[in-house]
Amino acid sequence: MDLSLEPKNETDSPIAGLVSQFKKLPGVGEKSAQRLAFFILSMSESDVSTFSSELVTTRRSIQYCSHCFSISRQEQCHICLDPSRDLDRLCIVSDPQDVFSIEKTKSFRGVYHVLGGLISPLDGVHPEMLRIPELVARLKKHSYKELILAINSTVEGDATVMYLQSILKSFEVSISKLAHGLPMGADIDYADELTLQKALEGRILL
Protein backbone atom coordinates (compact mmCIF):
# COMPACT_ATOMS: atom_id res chain seq x y z
CA MET A 1 0.00 0.00 0.00
CA ASP A 2 1.26 3.47 -0.85
CA LEU A 3 1.21 5.52 2.34
CA SER A 4 2.90 8.55 0.81
CA LEU A 5 0.97 11.77 1.37
CA GLU A 6 2.10 13.09 -1.98
CA PRO A 7 -0.69 12.88 -4.53
CA LYS A 8 0.10 10.34 -7.28
CA ASN A 9 -0.56 12.90 -9.93
CA GLU A 10 -1.72 16.46 -10.18
CA THR A 11 -5.41 15.63 -10.43
CA ASP A 12 -5.30 13.61 -7.16
CA SER A 13 -4.40 16.77 -5.27
CA PRO A 14 -7.34 18.12 -3.21
CA ILE A 15 -6.56 21.62 -4.47
CA ALA A 16 -5.96 20.65 -8.12
CA GLY A 17 -9.21 22.24 -9.29
CA LEU A 18 -8.43 25.54 -7.61
CA VAL A 19 -4.83 25.53 -8.85
CA SER A 20 -5.96 24.96 -12.42
CA GLN A 21 -8.37 27.92 -12.18
CA PHE A 22 -5.68 30.27 -10.87
CA LYS A 23 -3.38 29.15 -13.68
CA LYS A 24 -5.85 30.69 -16.12
CA LEU A 25 -4.91 34.15 -14.80
CA PRO A 26 -2.22 36.10 -16.68
CA GLY A 27 1.28 35.68 -15.27
CA VAL A 28 0.26 32.95 -12.85
CA GLY A 29 2.26 29.74 -13.19
CA GLU A 30 2.02 26.46 -11.30
CA LYS A 31 3.89 27.66 -8.20
CA SER A 32 2.01 30.94 -7.81
CA ALA A 33 -1.29 29.16 -8.47
CA GLN A 34 -0.51 26.72 -5.68
CA ARG A 35 0.44 29.55 -3.31
CA LEU A 36 -2.84 31.35 -4.08
CA ALA A 37 -4.83 28.15 -3.58
CA PHE A 38 -3.25 27.63 -0.15
CA PHE A 39 -3.95 31.25 0.70
CA ILE A 40 -7.63 30.70 -0.10
CA LEU A 41 -7.60 27.76 2.32
CA SER A 42 -6.30 30.08 5.03
CA MET A 43 -9.20 32.51 4.55
CA SER A 44 -12.45 32.26 6.49
CA GLU A 45 -15.36 30.64 4.69
CA SER A 46 -17.29 33.92 4.65
CA ASP A 47 -14.35 35.81 3.13
CA VAL A 48 -14.04 33.16 0.41
CA SER A 49 -17.75 33.45 -0.22
CA THR A 50 -17.56 37.26 -0.54
CA PHE A 51 -14.54 36.92 -2.83
CA SER A 52 -16.20 34.44 -5.15
CA SER A 53 -19.53 36.26 -5.32
CA GLU A 54 -17.71 39.52 -6.10
CA LEU A 55 -16.04 37.79 -9.06
CA VAL A 56 -19.40 36.67 -10.42
CA THR A 57 -21.35 39.88 -9.76
CA THR A 58 -18.61 42.13 -11.16
CA ARG A 59 -18.34 40.03 -14.29
CA ARG A 60 -22.13 40.05 -14.73
CA SER A 61 -22.67 43.74 -14.05
CA ILE A 62 -19.89 45.16 -16.20
CA GLN A 63 -20.76 46.37 -19.66
CA TYR A 64 -19.14 48.67 -22.18
CA CYS A 65 -20.00 52.36 -21.95
CA SER A 66 -22.19 53.20 -24.94
CA HIS A 67 -20.25 56.41 -25.48
CA CYS A 68 -16.53 55.73 -24.92
CA PHE A 69 -16.48 51.88 -24.73
CA SER A 70 -14.63 51.77 -21.45
CA ILE A 71 -16.08 49.43 -18.86
CA SER A 72 -19.03 50.59 -16.81
CA ARG A 73 -21.73 49.37 -14.44
CA GLN A 74 -24.27 51.53 -16.23
CA GLU A 75 -25.09 52.38 -19.81
CA GLN A 76 -22.59 55.25 -19.63
CA CYS A 77 -19.42 55.28 -17.53
CA HIS A 78 -18.72 57.68 -14.66
CA ILE A 79 -16.25 59.66 -16.80
CA CYS A 80 -18.74 60.30 -19.63
CA LEU A 81 -21.35 61.29 -17.05
CA ASP A 82 -19.02 63.66 -15.17
CA PRO A 83 -20.02 67.27 -16.04
CA SER A 84 -16.64 68.60 -14.88
CA ARG A 85 -14.70 66.80 -17.64
CA ASP A 86 -13.30 68.76 -20.59
CA LEU A 87 -15.45 67.50 -23.47
CA ASP A 88 -13.18 69.07 -26.08
CA ARG A 89 -10.21 66.83 -25.41
CA LEU A 90 -10.45 63.22 -26.47
CA CYS A 91 -7.88 60.62 -25.48
CA ILE A 92 -7.83 57.55 -27.71
CA VAL A 93 -6.62 54.32 -26.10
CA SER A 94 -6.63 50.66 -27.06
CA ASP A 95 -8.10 49.09 -23.91
CA PRO A 96 -10.15 50.02 -20.84
CA GLN A 97 -7.10 49.29 -18.65
CA ASP A 98 -5.38 52.26 -20.29
CA VAL A 99 -8.22 54.54 -19.15
CA PHE A 100 -7.59 53.40 -15.58
CA SER A 101 -3.82 53.93 -15.90
CA ILE A 102 -4.26 57.46 -17.28
CA GLU A 103 -6.91 58.33 -14.69
CA LYS A 104 -4.44 57.37 -11.95
CA THR A 105 -2.02 60.08 -13.15
CA LYS A 106 -4.77 62.70 -12.51
CA SER A 107 -3.23 64.78 -15.31
CA PHE A 108 -5.95 64.37 -17.91
CA ARG A 109 -9.41 65.90 -17.46
CA GLY A 110 -10.82 65.19 -20.90
CA VAL A 111 -12.80 62.19 -22.12
CA TYR A 112 -11.82 58.88 -23.73
CA HIS A 113 -12.45 56.64 -26.68
CA VAL A 114 -11.50 52.98 -26.30
CA LEU A 115 -10.69 51.24 -29.58
CA GLY A 116 -10.96 47.73 -28.18
CA GLY A 117 -7.57 46.60 -29.49
CA LEU A 118 -4.87 47.51 -31.97
CA ILE A 119 -4.52 46.83 -35.68
CA SER A 120 -2.61 43.58 -36.14
CA PRO A 121 -3.11 41.88 -39.51
CA LEU A 122 -0.96 38.92 -38.35
CA ASP A 123 -3.41 38.28 -35.52
CA GLY A 124 -6.37 38.89 -37.80
CA VAL A 125 -7.26 42.28 -36.24
CA HIS A 126 -8.24 44.69 -39.01
CA PRO A 127 -9.32 48.36 -38.60
CA GLU A 128 -13.00 47.57 -39.16
CA MET A 129 -12.91 45.26 -36.13
CA LEU A 130 -11.98 48.15 -33.83
CA ARG A 131 -14.26 51.00 -32.71
CA ILE A 132 -12.91 53.32 -35.37
CA PRO A 133 -16.26 53.94 -37.14
CA GLU A 134 -17.64 54.94 -33.73
CA LEU A 135 -14.69 57.31 -33.29
CA VAL A 136 -15.35 58.90 -36.67
CA ALA A 137 -19.03 59.25 -35.73
CA ARG A 138 -18.03 61.06 -32.51
CA LEU A 139 -15.78 63.41 -34.47
CA LYS A 140 -18.60 64.22 -36.89
CA LYS A 141 -20.92 65.03 -34.00
CA HIS A 142 -18.59 67.11 -31.84
CA SER A 143 -15.70 69.35 -32.83
CA TYR A 144 -12.87 68.44 -30.48
CA LYS A 145 -9.96 70.80 -29.82
CA GLU A 146 -7.48 68.01 -29.35
CA LEU A 147 -7.15 64.27 -29.94
CA ILE A 148 -4.48 62.48 -27.93
CA LEU A 149 -3.37 59.12 -29.23
CA ALA A 150 -2.28 57.37 -26.03
CA ILE A 151 -1.26 54.19 -27.75
CA ASN A 152 1.65 51.90 -26.92
CA SER A 153 4.71 52.26 -29.11
CA THR A 154 4.77 48.72 -30.50
CA VAL A 155 4.48 47.43 -34.07
CA GLU A 156 0.69 47.15 -33.66
CA GLY A 157 0.48 50.48 -31.81
CA ASP A 158 2.45 52.32 -34.49
CA ALA A 159 0.35 50.74 -37.27
CA THR A 160 -2.80 51.87 -35.46
CA VAL A 161 -1.47 55.42 -34.99
CA MET A 162 -0.56 55.63 -38.70
CA TYR A 163 -3.99 54.38 -39.73
CA LEU A 164 -5.76 56.80 -37.37
CA GLN A 165 -3.66 59.71 -38.63
CA SER A 166 -4.68 58.91 -42.21
CA ILE A 167 -8.40 58.82 -41.47
CA LEU A 168 -8.38 61.72 -38.99
CA LYS A 169 -6.61 64.21 -41.23
CA SER A 170 -9.90 65.22 -42.85
CA PHE A 171 -11.02 66.64 -39.48
CA GLU A 172 -9.87 70.02 -38.30
CA VAL A 173 -8.44 68.96 -34.99
CA SER A 174 -4.98 68.91 -33.48
CA ILE A 175 -3.67 65.39 -32.98
CA SER A 176 -0.92 64.55 -30.53
CA LYS A 177 0.68 61.39 -29.27
CA LEU A 178 2.43 60.50 -26.02
CA ALA A 179 5.98 61.77 -25.60
CA HIS A 180 8.84 59.35 -25.86
CA GLY A 181 9.03 59.20 -22.08
CA LEU A 182 7.55 55.77 -22.53
CA PRO A 183 10.23 53.31 -23.62
CA MET A 184 9.75 51.57 -26.98
CA GLY A 185 7.38 48.66 -26.61
CA ALA A 186 6.36 49.81 -23.14
CA ASP A 187 2.84 49.06 -22.11
CA ILE A 188 0.79 52.04 -20.92
CA ASP A 189 -0.80 49.63 -18.53
CA TYR A 190 2.50 48.91 -16.77
CA ALA A 191 4.12 52.33 -16.98
CA ASP A 192 4.53 53.97 -13.61
CA GLU A 193 2.28 56.93 -12.92
CA LEU A 194 5.03 59.54 -13.11
CA THR A 195 6.39 58.26 -16.46
CA LEU A 196 2.89 58.21 -17.90
CA GLN A 197 2.12 61.67 -16.53
CA LYS A 198 5.32 63.05 -18.14
CA ALA A 199 4.50 61.30 -21.44
CA LEU A 200 1.05 62.92 -21.38
CA GLU A 201 2.26 66.39 -20.42
CA GLY A 202 5.04 66.35 -23.03
CA ARG A 203 2.79 65.01 -25.77
CA ILE A 204 3.98 65.59 -29.32
CA LEU A 205 1.85 67.28 -31.94
CA LEU A 206 1.50 65.13 -35.06
Chain residues that interact with Zn ion, rule: CB under 5 A: 65, 67-68, 77, 80
State the nearest-atom distance from the C-beta of 111 to Zn ion, in Å.
7
**Cα→Cα distances 183→91, 144, 179, 180, 194, Å:** 20, 28, 10, 7, 13
Pick the closer one to Zn ion by CB: 67 or 198. Answer: 67
Q: Which is nearer to Zn ion, 37 or 96 (CB)?
A: 96
Shortest approach of Zn ion to residue 136 CB, angstroms? Answer: 17
Between residues 65 and 91, which has the closer beta carbon with respect to Zn ion?
65
How near is the Cβ of 131 to Zn ion at its closest, in Å? 12
Closest to Zn ion by CB, 68 or 139: 68
Amino acid present at 114: V
CB of 55 to Zn ion, least distance (A): 23
166-to-104, 142, 159, 171 alpha-carbon distances in Å: 30, 19, 11, 10
Per-residue burial over 52-77, b if 16 or more Cβ lie within 10 Å, else e, is: eeeeeeeeeeeebbebbbbbbeeeeb
Distance CA 117, CA 130 (A): 6
Residue whose CB is less far from Zn ion, 65 or 200:
65
Smaller CB separation from Zn ion, 68 or 151: 68
Q: Measuring CA to CA, how many Å separate 25 from each of 18, 30, 54, 113?
A: 12, 11, 16, 27
C-alpha span between 30 and 13 (Å, rounded): 13
Q: How far is CA 162 from CA 19, 52, 125, 149, 156, in A?
A: 43, 43, 15, 10, 10
Find the shortest distance in angstroms from Cβ 84 to Zn ion. Answer: 14
Q: How far is the CB of 69 from Zn ion (least distance, A)?
A: 7
